Amino acid sequence: MAITTLPTHAEVAIVGAGPTGLALAVTLAAAGIDFVIVDRLAEGANTSRAAVVHARTLEVLDELGASKSLIARGERVSQFAVRDGGRRLLTVPFAALPTPYPYTLMVSQCETEAVLLARLRELGADVHRPYEVSSVVQDAAGVTLTMSTGQTLRARHVVGADGMHSAVREASGIGFTGSAYGESFVLADVAMDWAPGRTEVSLTFGSGGLTVVAPLPGDRYRIVATVDDAPATPDLAFVQQLMDERTPGQARIDGLAWSSRFRVHHRVADHYRAGRLLLAGDAAHVHSPAGGQGMNTGIQDGYALGRAIATGQLDDYEAQRRPIAERVVAFTDRMTKIATTRNPAVRAVRDAALSVLGHLPAFRTRLATELAELNYR
Ligand SMILES: Cc1cc2nc3c(=O)[nH]c(=O)nc-3n(C[C@H](O)[C@H](O)[C@H](O)COP(=O)(O)OP(=O)(O)OC[C@H]3O[C@@H](n4cnc5c(N)ncnc54)[C@H](O)[C@@H]3O)c2cc1C
């Protein structure tokens, strides 16, 4: 890709064109706000990352004019199931959710980014690449961004949508409180014969760890599993053995398209704003991939921040969005702890309680609403 000419001034500069930065850029473009968005990569990443788009995110993408083409590229999943080994404890249907999108959409992050970028271009804007921000300095009148090329960009406000190792957050001095999970996370995209089938996302409890299986477009599945000890690139035999231990008799893996081991952090920025610098997406919060909420929360941040800028309500942004990140971190933490308890008495009580609660429509609706992020409207 040719290096695009970088403007020298803008009302708002967005650092990072991942899903968060793109959602913000589309929101600002639609509102007619003058902005520039830069990314250090010559083109968008095409690695396997987020695969789940929740109902609330689809509502936001609808506001941005991007939901239809994303839905056309994905696969709809109508329920969420909880199991202990091979035993089903709970089924949470999404069908009755009060939303035009009563399902979870399985679609690759690259597609989500491609749809947002196409919408941005439709609105007459584009990402400036490759420009890496190497210095961020704010003063009373604005912020100066210096690129690694030496070029500068002056803006009234700068948004760090530059991911977990955010340079904007570093420059702002805002703390990133939290820690790393003790266990590793294994992620694998596989072709497999999976007994529960393709209509649900399933979460399996087990003393060895938590295991999530979700269908991916293209007849594949995404496996996410917490593991005490795993090789850096788990092979098919490793993943098959993991599934045999945790979901006995349910999974026969035929092919491994991609796998990796991650150390995952759970952290939330102490503030989302320091003067003229603002944070959104992974720059502001990171959590376990088990709930599939990282990218979703980021897109919703981008939209909320864009609306706050467009309506001159910047002070509301942190108050509106930071409690949500704290809640997502607490929810995924709690889920992981409940799912992986090694105490047999606690497990028995947990399983019995879930089986009973699973018959209560109000409980199922509450859980479906939390998973779909609809209470974050
Ligand atoms: C394997 C994996 C699986 C995941 N699964 C899920 C899932 O199922 N569901 C879910 O919701 N989330 C998932 N996530 C998390 C999700 O990918 C992130 O939450 C999401 O990408 C965050 O988007 P973002 O735009 O905030 O940051 P990023 O996607 O990290 O984008 C940041 C951008 O900033 C650019 N940048 C960084 N520094 C600079 C700089 N100094 N100058 C210029 N540009 C810069 C980068 O090049 C990048 O393009 C997963 C992540 C991984 C790695």
| Pocket flag, ligand 1, residue 300 (CB < 6 Å) | no
| Pocket flag, ligand 1, residue 163 (CB < 6 Å) | yes
Angstrom distance (rounded) from CA 47 to CA 108: 9
Atom number of ligand 1 nearest to Cα 109? 17
Whether the bond between 289 and the residue before it is cis, its omega within 30 degrees of 0, is no
Tell me which of 15, 22, 49 to substitute to probe ligand 1's pocket, judged by most ligand atoms within 8 Å of the beta carbon: 49
pLDDT tens by residue, 240-254: 999 999 999 999 999
Expressed in angstroms, the distance from the first to the final Cα of the chain is 38
Going by alpha carbons, the residue nearest to atom 33 of ligand 1 is: 16
| Pocket flag, ligand 1, residue 161 (CB < 6 Å) | yes
Strand 143-147, strand 152-160: pairing: antiparallel
Atom number of ligand 1 nearest to Cα 147? 42
In order along its 377 residues, the chain shows pLDDT tens digits of 445 689 999 999 999 999 999 999 999 999 999 999 999 999 888 787 999 999 999 999 999 999 999 999 999 999 999 998 888 899 999 998 999 999 999 999 999 999 999 999 999 999 999 999 999 999 999 999 999 999 999 999 999 999 999 999 999 999 999 988 888 899 999 999 999 999 999 999 888 888 999 999 999 999 999 998 899 999 999 999 999 999 999 999 999 999 999 888 899 999 999 999 999 999 999 988 777 889 999 999 999 999 999 999 999 999 999 999 999 888 887 877 787 777 888 888 888 888 888 889 898 988 899 888 888 77
Cα of 20 from ligand 1 centre, angstroms: 8
Angstrom distance (rounded) from CA 61 to CA 194: 31
**Exposure of 229 in the CB half-sphere (CA atoms within 13 A):** 0
| Pocket flag, ligand 1, residue 209 (CB < 6 Å) | no
35 three-state secondary structure: strand
| Pocket flag, ligand 1, residue 172 (CB < 6 Å) | no
Residue 276 near residue 140 (C-beta atoms within 8 A): no
| Pocket flag, ligand 1, residue 21 (CB < 6 Å) | yes
| Pocket flag, ligand 1, residue 20 (CB < 6 Å) | yes
Cα of 274 from ligand 1 centre, angstroms: 22
Cα of 18 from ligand 1 centre, angstroms: 6
| Pocket flag, ligand 1, residue 294 (CB < 6 Å) | yes
Work out the number of other CB atoms within 10 angstroms of the CB of residue 27: 24
Return the closest-CA partner of residue 212 out of 177, 244, 240, 247.
247
Cα of 49 from ligand 1 centre, angstroms: 8
Strand 152-160, strand 277-279: pairing: parallel
Q: Which residues are bridge partners to 205 per DSSP?
A: 84
pLDDT tens by residue, 90-129: 999 999 899 999 999 999 999 999 999 999 999 999 999 9
| Pocket flag, ligand 1, residue 19 (CB < 6 Å) | yes
178 three-state secondary structure: strand
| Polymer length of the chain | 377
Q: Which residues are bridge partners to 93 per DSSP?
A: 79
DSSP string, 210-222: -EEEEEETTTEEE
Atom number of ligand 1 nearest to Cα 22? 25
Six token digits for residue 176: 């990133």
